[in-house]
Amino acid sequence: MISVGNTIPATPIVAINKNGEDNTTTTELFAGKKVVLFALPGAFTPTCSKSHLPGYVTLNDEFMEKGADMVACLSVNDSFVMSAWAKDQNAENITMLADGGAAFTKALGLDMDTGDFGGVRSKRYAMIIEDNNVKHLNVEAPKEFEVSKAETMLAIL
């Protein structure tokens, strides 16, 4: 599993924001930026839709005021699902990262197999990345939602 001080692995990723969709790599996307990245098991799932993403949507301006260049939400879903979820959640200021094949999630070592629920998914976590280096990482215990909350990460930033 990736840890503080490690460099973000270079993998393909689809970034979706208010300017559209961009097929890029993680290293290109995070280069020269301070990024608050949070990941969750799935778009349109209960905790993710009711609490996790909405917290970051609400506090996005405060993250920017504290020096973040980007707030990004990652899920092992395709870009169509992530785009629809962003619209549904009024998350136009959050960069949605579609990791459809879980390449980035697996490279981080933060994947989990949920079996028939959805297959390979991301663990719930949040990290602060500065110019492709992990500065802080909070990984949730199974079925927990505390250390990756927007309020927690804002206090750390």
Active site residues: 48
DSSP letter assigned to residue 26? H
Bridge-partner residues for 17, per DSSP?
Answer: 20
Three-point CA angle 2, 85, 106, nearest 5°: 20
Closest CA to 106 of 45, 48, 39: 39
Contact of 96 with 73, CB cutoff 8 Å? yes
Beta strands in the chain (DSSP E): 12-17, 20-25, 34-39, 70-75, 95-98, 111-113, 120-122, 125-130, 133-139
> Could you give phi then psi for residue 83, rounded to 5 degrees?
-65, -45
